[in-house]
């Protein structure tokens, strides 16, 4: 008989209790098999059991996200049921005396998204919350819109965005005074405490379930109408290729594009319909190498002027333009390039609409996104706000008229959606491309115009993926304890540690290295993946177009090499 210690026996007992309350036959079967192996003394099964039951998937400002499997450290129906009950308890306790809190719930096309959403609606209704389920699988921006449009106390979107195929997630928004933004501290900890209380005291079969409502199509109709207003009526029609990356974006995007007066784009048919297996991409993220290869092939066939790609839940946008210097004939613009052009567009529109008092409003981006947006704000006498990463922060900037994050996230219509929205951003960029084409210019020309007006803001990023999370802490500690005097031969002027907060920024595990010549390096752990992320920015703002580009790119290359050495 294999020997087991007390900890092993405790894990087996926890797994057996989990198995007894799990309503999902698939996760029941795989956990039962894992338990059998652990009882037989199989070391691999025991290690897997430890990984699943020694920790709990953290509920934070990003909600929940993880691989679908049994156990508290995975995404499954037990964990989601506990989350729904905990969120419901928070909403009931937060409601005014005699008021009934409400929630609207959306879901995308990933594995188990629909069942997680339905479980949430039934459990929250059973807890005394008015629960409204969106009518079908829809993009995340529609759910973010619905929180405000339906004036609910909260919103839940079941999605893992652009994560690997077997992942899913649980994203939470708050209405009322939060105006449909994602949760931030300390609310995340307050909800997490109630979830853990449910998990410790109640099994899933004991959770009462109630009747929920299903929203009608008018929610989607109004999102489409409001989003189409982002565009101006086109006088020319750019040739466009579109991909949904196997996600839920196309149906809604098609309606918005038509409502805005644009002709239908050519489609990447292999990726246009929702498919939880994401068969044509290794990772369903337009930023990943190879993810847009089919888009480029379709664009060559169509002679396209523009490629538009959404990620699977359509809250992110990727843009590609013709480029004869690349083997594909097209290149994807960086998130910073798209963000700066959309920010410039937003600033011009605010200026055009302003009266004698002059333009008012705020352009905002995360601290790791291009500082070029601040140059745009300064040129148009607008306020500028640099926030912590995530649209939960960007969306809360006072007087916001536009916000972006370098990871392909853009908020172009804050009066409609208080989150990144890849559909409204797509129609805004399409409108910009049409305006440029009508005047005989291209997006590439417009990028050159930006450089000559504001400077060349070049960027690069290093993502250090780790298997041992302690390595991230070691690197951050080393940079704090022995800060470099120079990086890549460029002198360090100062290092700003955001661990205890900095200025108006709340505490965050981020280092900002400010270097001479206007360059900077940001270092932070990823909030959603086992990675250390390094963001590099430099500017060339004197000389000819070529000189500005050369200066900025040389500084970025030197800093990239230097940071590779420091983090290696």
DSSP line for 418-443: SS--HHHHHHHHHHHHHHHHHTT--H
88: β partners: none
Q: Supply the pLDDT for residue 1.
A: 39
Q: Which residues of the chain have pLDDT under 50?
A: 1-3
Q: Supply the pLDDT for residue 526.
A: 84
- The catalytic position among 46, 113, 120, 161 is 161
DSSP line for 500-516: G-BTTBPP-S-EEEEEG
Catalytic annotation present for 459: no
Pairing of strands 400-405, 213-214: unpaired
Sign of CA dihedral 314, 425, 120, 191: positive
**pTM for this structure?**
0.95
Residue 59 and residue 262: Cα distance in Å, rounded? 41
Q: Supply the pLDDT for residue 446.
A: 98
Residue 403 and residue 387: Cα distance in Å, rounded? 10
Phi, psi of 214 (to 5 degrees): -115, 125
Biggest CA pair distance of the chain: 86
3 state SS of 145: helix
Residue 333 and residue 457: Cα distance in Å, rounded? 13
Q: Supply the pLDDT for residue 3.
A: 46
Cβ atoms of residues 419 and 180 within 8 Å: yes
Cis amide leading into 186 (omega within 30) = yes
Delineate the domains of the chain, giving CATH numbers in brackets: 1-54 (no CATH), 60-216 (3.40.120.10), 217-452 (3.40.120.10), 455-567 (3.30.310.50)
Within 10 angstroms of residue 179's Cβ, the number of other Cβ atoms is: 15
Residue 148 and residue 102: Cα distance in Å, rounded? 12
* Sequence-distant contacts of 211-215: CB under 8 A, at least 24 apart: 211/125, 212/121, 212/122, 212/124, 212/125, 212/131, 212/132, 212/133, 213/130, 213/131, 213/132, 213/133, 214/132, 214/133, 214/134, 214/135, 215/104, 215/132, 215/133, 215/134, 215/135, 215/146, 215/150
Q: Supply the pLDDT for residue 8.
A: 86
Would you give the DSSP letter of residue 217? T
Determine the number of helices (DSSP H) and then strands (DSSP E) in the chain: 17, 22
How is residue 539 written in tokens?
Answer: 């500017």
Would you give the DSSP letter of residue 518? G
Would you give the DSSP letter of residue 407? T
**Considering only CA atoms, which of 266, 281, 287, 315 is closest in space to residue 108?**
315
**Considering only CA atoms, which of 403, 391, 407, 390 is closest in space to residue 340?**
403
Q: Which residues are within 8 A (CB) of 246 and not within 5 positions of it... i.e. 6 or more apart?
A: 109, 271, 273, 274, 275, 277, 278, 279, 280, 281, 284, 312
107: β partners: 158
Burial class (CB in 10 A: 0-12, 13-18, 19+), 259: middle
3 state SS of 332: strand
404: β partners: 365, 410
Residue 168 and residue 266: Cα distance in Å, rounded? 30
């Amino acid at each position: 008989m294999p020997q087991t210690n007390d900890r092993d026996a405790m894990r087996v007992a926890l797994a057996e209790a989990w198995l007894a309350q799990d309503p999902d036959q698939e996760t029941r079967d795989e956990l039962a098999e894992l338990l059998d192996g652990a009882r037989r003394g199989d070391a691999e099964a025991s290690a897997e059991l430890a990984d699943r039951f020694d920790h709990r998937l953290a509920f934070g400002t990003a909600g929940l996200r993880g691989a679908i499997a049994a156990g508290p450290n995975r995404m499954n129906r037990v964990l989601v049921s506990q989350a729904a009950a905990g969120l419901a308890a928070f909403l009931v306790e937060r409601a005014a005396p005699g008021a009934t809190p409400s929630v609207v719930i959306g879901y995308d096309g990933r594995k188990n998204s629909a069942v997680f959403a339905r479980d949430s609606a039934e459990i929250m209704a059973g807890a005394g919350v008015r629960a409204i389920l969106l009518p079908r699988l829809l993009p995340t921006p529609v759910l973010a819109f619905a929180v405000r449009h339906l004036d609910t106390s909260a919103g839940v979107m079941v999605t893992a965005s652009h994560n690997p195929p077997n992942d899913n997630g649980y994203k939470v928004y708050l209405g009322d005074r939060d105006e449909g933004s994602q949760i931030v501290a300390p609310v995340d900890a307050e909800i997490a405490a109630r979830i853990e209380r449910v998990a410790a005291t109640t099994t899933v079969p004991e959770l009462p379930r109630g009747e929920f409502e299903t929203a009608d199509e008018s929610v989607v109709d109004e999102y489409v109408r409001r989003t189409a207003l982002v565009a101006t009526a086109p006088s020319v029609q750019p040739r466009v290729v579109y991909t949904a990356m196997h996600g839920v974006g196309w149906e809604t995007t098609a309606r918005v594009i038509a409502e805005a007066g644009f002709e239908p784009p050519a489609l990447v048919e292999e990726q246009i319909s929702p498919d939880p297996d994401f068969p044509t991409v290794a990772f369903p993220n337009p930023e990943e190498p190879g993810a847009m290869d089919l888009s480029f092939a379709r664009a060559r066939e169509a002679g396209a002027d523009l490629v538009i790609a959404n990620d699977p839940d359509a809250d992110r946008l990727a843009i590609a333009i013709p480029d004869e210097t690349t083997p594909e004939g097209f290149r994807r613009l960086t998130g910073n390039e798209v963000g700066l052009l959309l920010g410039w567009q937003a600033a011009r529109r605010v200026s055009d609409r302003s009266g004698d008092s002059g333009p008012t409003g705020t352009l905002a981006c995360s601290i790791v996104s291009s500082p070029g947006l601040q140059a745009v704000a300064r040129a148009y006498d607008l306020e500028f706000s640099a926030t912590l990463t995530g649209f939960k922060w960007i969306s809360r900037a006072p007087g916001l008229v536009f916000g972006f994050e370098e990871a392909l996230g853009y908020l172009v219509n804050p009066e409609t959606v208080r989150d990144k929205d890849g559909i409204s951003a797509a129609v805004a960029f399409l409108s910009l491309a049409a305006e440029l084409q009508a005047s005989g210019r291209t997006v590439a020309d417009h990028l050159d115009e930006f450089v000559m007006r504001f400077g060349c803001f070049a960027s690069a990023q290093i993502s250090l993926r780790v298997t041992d999370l302690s390595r991230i802490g070691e690197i951050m500690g080393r940079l704090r304890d022995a800060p470099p005097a120079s990086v890549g031969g460029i002198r360090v002027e100062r290092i700003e540690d955001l661990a205890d907060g900095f200025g108006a920024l709340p505490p965050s595990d981020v280092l900002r290295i400010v270097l001479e010549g206007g360059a900077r390096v940001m270092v932070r752990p990823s909030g959603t993946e086992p990675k250390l992320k390094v963001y590099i920015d430099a500017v060339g703002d004197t000389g000819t177009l070529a000189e500005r580009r050369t200066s900025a790119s040389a500084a970025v290359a030197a800093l990239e090499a230097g940071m590779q050495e420091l983090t290696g």
